[in-house]
Structure 1
Amino acid sequence: MIEPIESILHTVDHRPWPIPKHSWFWYQEWNEVIFMHYQVDGKRLRELVPRHLELDQFDGEHWVSVVAFTMDRVHPRFTFPIQFLSTFHEVNLRTYVTRNGKPGVYFLSIEAEKILTTLFARFASGLPYQHSPIKRTKHSYRLRGKRCEIGIEFLKKDKIGSTSPKELWLTERYSLYRGKNPEETAMDVHHKPWELFQVEFMKLNLRYAAYDGLVNFGNPNLSHYSPGVQVLAWL
């Protein structure tokens, strides 16, 4: 069910800071989401993240996450979504950073299904989008690209009634950093809190060639499923 924009904007008690005062620019939906979280060595991770971004930690632990989902209804404010551009599958590899005390995420890799969408997203956001062929069904996700290979088969299990502090730290993130400019400010996003479910993997083959020494991708420390969120984003 699509929520009214005003309902999303007025649901703010879960946020660590207020939403921006100026108007949002992008609307998008992140649907049918699989989270796979991995604890990693901070020294190795430090080599992969620009120095002006501080590595964020939870109880002294450093983490990266693979997030596979379907991006839906992407469009600027006062326009409407165009199906062949605004709906596509995506997989990203992200880690957790802070800048001037503001926590967010930094993307090590983003794979997207459609060529035109990938080119536009890279230009509009400055994020490391790359085209990869992705196939998705209700319970599977397959990708074979230049940077990674993914084969996932899963089942959604019970809803997580009480989200732990670690789960909140890993999922409730409202700033995106490009990492290209030491003077950059964050790209702010907003959505209602994630509705998280346990997930069981029937198959999990996951490989990022550039990060084999960083992560054992076949064995996530934590994993979640979510039906998704409606997202507002600011320039």
Structure 2
Amino acid sequence: MNFVEYYNPQEIIKITEHRPNPLPDLPWVSTQRWEDVLFLHWPVSPDLLTPHLPQSLQLDLYDGTAWIGMVFFQVKGMRPRLLPAVPFISSYLQLNVRTYVTYKGRSGVYFFRLTVDSILACFLAKTWYSLPFMMAEIKMDSQGDDIHMVSKRKIGKFEERMSCSYTPEASVFHTQMNTLDHWLFERYCSWNMRQGTLLRIDIHHTKWNLQKAAAVIRSNTVTDFLTAKISQNNPIVHYSSAKQALFWPPVKERRF
């Protein structure tokens, strides 16, 4: 099995056999590389997530169960198409909280939280992609194979905090059809609402090169908006060393 990681957009755009949907007709507009990616996934009751979704989106379930994911990574080399990466803007840390949804038969992602540690990256992401990015204080430190991260964001008197360490433990693999891993990872678009309009953002990358991993979560209040302490349960943990992704501009699905 080929576990080569591709970084050249001209090569990546040609590899499409793993996608559940065709590539968009329009050209991609930006690219970025994700490094030291941590995935944490918890099974949750659909009743916990549905109230937090736009009514137009259908919560996607695996064997009747909803899943919430937390993804942490370092962004590097973010740049628009045909332009070079700009220092102080192109690299930053990011922490996302998401779940899995469908719209008119297409599967994708809905983000509850999108936090970064760069004011400029936050502004540009909001401007380019119309996604609700927010600022947070995020730190990352590597010691051998062990990676440590801390994210803090003040919301009034409340501090939204995530602190954990993670380590890849197994060999690299690709997800297989009809498995939970495949269901969680093979998604190539996200939706969000902006001023009453449902927007879809398409992305493309090669199939994830994943490893099973171990994580020690020291604190997690980022998912407390669900009113259930899901972090008390052990998550499924995955790691990926790197992934180059291509992004398309938001398209309007429907106005409400």
Seen in structure 2, the aligned counterparts of structure 1 residues 117 and 186 have a Cα distance that, compared at 3 Å, is same
Q: Which residue among 194, 199, 217 is the counterpart of 2:231?
A: 217
Please identify, of 197-206 and 74-83, the stretch whose mean Cα deviation from structure 2 is larger. Answer: 197-206
8 Å CA contact 1:39, 1:62 repeated in 2: yes
Q: TM-score w.r.t. structure 1 length? A: 0.93
Q: Which residue among 77, 85, 89 is the counterpart of 2:89?
A: 85
Does 2:153 match 1:145? yes
Per-residue CA deviations over 1:12-46 (Å, capped at 9, x if unaligned) read: 11100111122111111121100000111111211
Q: Which residue among 210, 231, 234 is the counterpart of 2:245?
A: 231
Alignment of 1:92-131 (within 5 A): 92-131=96-135
Does 2:194 match 1:180? yes
Q: TM-score w.r.t. structure 2 length? A: 0.85
In structure 1, what is the Cα distance between the partners aligned to 2:50 and 2:223? 18
Does 2:22 match 1:22? no
Stretches of 4+ moved more than 6 A in 1? none
Unpaired runs of 5+ in structure 1?
none
Does 2:182 match 1:168? yes
Please identify, of 142-151 and 129-138, the stretch whose mean Cα deviation from structure 2 is larger. Answer: 142-151
Specify the alignment match of 2:64 in structure 1: 60
Deviation at residue 4 of structure 1 after TM alignment: 2.2
Per-residue CA deviations over 1:78-131 (Å, capped at 9, x if unaligned) read: 111112001000001001111111111011011101112112212222212110
Please identify, of 2-11 and 48-57, the stretch whose mean Cα deviation from structure 2 is larger. Answer: 2-11
SS of 1:15's equivalent in the other structure is: coil
In structure 2, what is the Cα distance between the partners aligned to 1:234 and 1:183? 17
Q: How many pairs are equivalent?
A: 235
Seen in structure 2, the aligned counterparts of structure 1 residues 57 and 181 have a Cα distance that, compared at 3 Å, is farther
In structure 2, what is the Cα distance between the partners aligned to 1:33 and 1:167? 15
8 Å CA contact 2:95, 2:116 repeated in 1: yes
Deviation at residue 5 of structure 1 after TM alignment: 1.7
RMSD, matched Cα: 1.8
8 Å CA contact 1:98, 1:104 repeated in 2: yes
Deviation at residue 74 of structure 1 after TM alignment: 0.9
Per-residue CA deviations over 1:176-202 (Å, capped at 9, x if unaligned) read: 111336653521100001111111124
Unpaired runs of 5+ in structure 2?
250-256
Seen in structure 2, the aligned counterparts of structure 1 residues 75 and 218 have a Cα distance that, compared at 3 Å, is farther
In structure 1, what is the Cα distance between the partners aligned to 2:137 and 2:18? 36
SS of 1:217's equivalent in the other structure is: helix
